[in-house]
Amino acid sequence: MITFFTTGKPFRGHDGIIQRNALKSWTLLHPDVEIILFGDEDGAAEVCAEYGLRHEPHVERYESRLPYVNYMFARAQQIARHDYVCYANCDIVLLKDFLAAFEKALAWRDRFLMVAQRWDTDVTKPIDFSNRDWAKDLRQLAVTTGQLQLPHCIDFFVFPRGLYDDVPPLTVGYSYWDHWMVWKALSTGCPVLDASRFIVPVHQNHAYTTTP
């Protein structure tokens, strides 16, 4: 199916809540989803053990401690169990519309980059995943009270392994590295699919206390 990879902040307080929400939502997309969590932040190993994720404690970092994108993309494409991978920020809840869009893209061709605009939404509590309507309720909350971010705010990238074989040493967040990702795909002739009309990626609002 697909391998997700990401990195996060320490799993404490509100950051811990929304990161757990995001990771759990990915596990529920399909029985054959693989998830790789990079980094040795507090609580990361415990969450990986609880959710059955693959933990890669090592990640190369800039002097500000922000993780480098290039290391994670190279390592994830090397070790992923599946031919298609998705980097997603660890605060993004994905719903079944993501899976439906991915399957339609696969039916169209085997080489593409799929992205979508995010919906900034206030989520302050753990999602009750035992509630059969949790996804419907969260989607409704996002589209009625949330804000659709501008197209340059991209929080996930779906692509075939090998598409990104030479990523420069960009850092996660704050540096517009997502623009480079889209440009790189286009520069190689790889079509970029904007699935914003089909997917509601729920970005759980949070404070930016780690900005260097």
How far the first Cα of the chain sits from its last, in Å, is 36
Evaluated on CA atoms 44, 29, 201, 184, the torsion sign reads: positive
Average pLDDT on 170-188 reads 88
pLDDT tens readout for residues 114-172: 999 999 999 999 999 999 999 999 999 999 999 999 888 899 999 999 999 989 999 88
Cβ(143)–Cβ(119) below 8 Å: yes
Question: Which residue matches tokens 């990915």?
Answer: 26
Taken in order of first residue, the domains within the chain and their CATH numbers are 3-204 (3.90.550.10)
Give percent of the chain above pLDDT 90: 86
